[in-house]
Structure 1
Amino acid sequence: MSSLSLSLPSLHTPMVAVLHKVLPSLPLTGRDVDVPLVYREPFVLSGYRPVGLPWRCYVLSLFQLHKDTVKVWCPLLAAVTVATLFMFFMVLQGGGLLGVRLQTPEGMGMSLDPSSLPLLLYVLSVIFFLSCSSASLLLHPCSSSVRSSLIILDSVGRGVHQAGRALALSLYASDAAWTESVVGQLYLPAAAVLAFLSCTIGCCVELYPHRPNLIHLRLLQGGPVLLAFLLDISPVARRLYACPWNSHTAVLLHGLQMVLFLLSTLFFSCPVPECLSPGAFDILGHSRQLFQVLQTLSTVCQLEALLQDFSWRRAGLVRRVGEENLLWSCGGFTVVTLSCTLTALALRRCSVSR
Structure 2
Amino acid sequence: MFTRQAEEEEGEEEAQLRTLRETTATRTYPVYPSQLLSLMATIVMERIGRVFISLQQIRQVPRMLTEAAPSMPGTVGDAEVPYYFRERYVCTGYRPLNQTWRYYFLSLFQWHNETVNIWSHLLACFVFLVKLRQLSETVDFADDPHSWPLLVLILSSLTYSAFSVVAHLLGGRSELCHCFFFFLDYVGVAQYQYGSAVVHFYYAVDESLHRHVQGVFMPVAAALSCLSCLGCCYGKYFNHNSPSWVRKVCQVVPSALAYIWDSSPVAQRLLSWSSNDPALSYHFGQVAFFLSCSFFFTFPLLERCFPGQCDFLGQSHQLFHVFLSCCTLCQIYAAHIDYVCRRKLYSRLHKSGEAALFVGLYVVTVVACALIAAFVLRKVRQVLHFKAKSK
* Residues 214/58 of structure 1: CA separation in 2 closer, same or farther (3 Å cut): closer
* Residues 242-294 of structure 1: per-residue CA shift (max 9 Å, x gap): 132x3233211111111111111111111111111211111111111111111
What is residue 226 of structure 2 aligned with on the other side?
Answer: 196
Rate the CA distance shift 1:155–1:22 in 2: closer, same or farther, 3 A.
farther
Are 2:285 and 1:241 aligned? Answer: no
Matches of 2:304 and 2:190 in 1, distance apart? 30
Amino acid of the residue matched to residue 83 of structure 1? L
Q: Which of 26-35 and 184-193 deviates more?
A: 184-193
Aligned to 2:246: 216
**Residue of structure 2 in register with 1:226 after alignment:** 256
- The equivalent residue for 1:154 is 185
- Residues 54 and 20 of structure 1: CA distance in aligned 2, closer, same or farther (over 3 Å): farther
- Which ranges in structure 1 are unaligned for 5 or more consecutive residues? 1-18, 100-112
For 2:294, the equivalent position in structure 1 comes to 265
The 10-residue stretch of structure 1 (272-281 or 309-318) with the greater mean CA deviation from structure 2: 309-318
Query: Separation in 1 of the partners of 2:150 and 2:126?
Result: 17
**Matched AA of 1:305:** A
Q: Which amino acid aligns with 2:320?
A: F
Kept in 2: contact 1:209–1:215 (CA 8 A): no
Across the aligned residues of Structure 1 and Structure 2, the Cα RMSD in angstroms comes to 2.2
Task: Say whether residues 1:98 and 2:129 are aligned partners.
Answer: no
Residues 10-159 of structure 1 aligned to structure 2 (within 5 Å): 23-91=69-137, 93=138, 95-99=139-143, 113-159=144-190
User: Kindly tell me: are residues 215 and 263 of structure 1, through their superposed partners in 2, closer, same or farther at Cα, counting changes over 3 Å?
Assistant: closer
Structure 1 letter corresponding to 2:302? P
Q: How far did 1:154 drift?
A: 0.8
- Greater mean alpha carbon deviation, residues 140-149 or residues 330-339: 330-339
1:22 to partner: Cα distance: 7.0
Instruction: Give the counterpart of 1:287 among 302, 306, 316.
Output: 316
Greater gyration radius:
2
Amino acid at match of 1:341: A
Shift of 1:345: 2.0
Does the aligned pair in 2 maintain the 1:35–1:51 contact within 8 Å? yes
Q: Deviations over 1:178-232 (max 9, x none)?
A: 2112x45532122111100011122222234356699611011111111111111
Question: What is the deviation of 1:326?
Answer: 2.4
Which position in structure 1 is the counterpart of 2:3? none
Question: Which has the higher mean CA deviation after the structures are superposed, 66-75 or 202-211?
Answer: 202-211
Secondary structure (helix, strand or coil) at the match of 2:301 reads: coil
1:180 equivalent in alignment to 2:226:
no
Partner-residue secondary structure (3-state), 2:98 = coil
- Structure 2: runs of 5 or more not aligned: 1-64, 384-391
Q: Deviations over 1:103-126 (max 9, x none)?
A: xxxxxxxxxx21112221221111
Contact 2:234 2:250 in 1 (8 A): no
Q: TM-score, normalised by structure 2?
A: 0.77
Give the whole-Å Cα distance in 2 for the aligned partners of 1:285 and 1:33.
21
Q: Check conservation: 1:46, 1:67, Cα contact below 8 A.
A: yes
Task: Confirm or deny: 8 A CA contact 1:214 1:220 kept in the other structure.
Answer: no
Task: For residue 261 of structure 1, give the secondary structure of its aligned residue in structure 2.
Answer: helix
Instruction: Show the 5 A alignment for 1:316-335.
Output: 317-335=346-364
CA distance in 1, matches of 2:291, 2:302: 17
Equivalent-residue separation in structure 2 for 1:28 and 1:192 (angstroms): 43
CA distance in 2, matches of 1:53, 1:303: 39
Offset of residue 298 of structure 1: 0.9
Matched pairs, number: 320
Cα deviation digits, residues 278-322 of structure 1 (max 9, x gap): 111111111111111111111111111112211223465333311
Q: Is the 8 A contact 2:235 2:246 kept in 1?
A: no
> Which has a greater percent of strand?
1
Residue 171, structure 1, aligned to residue 199, structure 2: no
CA contact under 8 A between 1:318 and 1:326: conserved in structure 2?
Answer: no
TM-score by length of 1: 0.84
Structure 1: which amino acid aligns with 2:151? Answer: L
The residue aligned with 1:105 is: none
Which protein is richer in helix relative to its size?
Answer: 2
* Deviation at residue 352 of structure 1 after TM alignment: 2.8
Aligned-residue sequence identity (percent) comes to: 33
Cα gap change, 1:96/1:316 in structure 2, threshold over 3 Å: closer, same or farther? farther
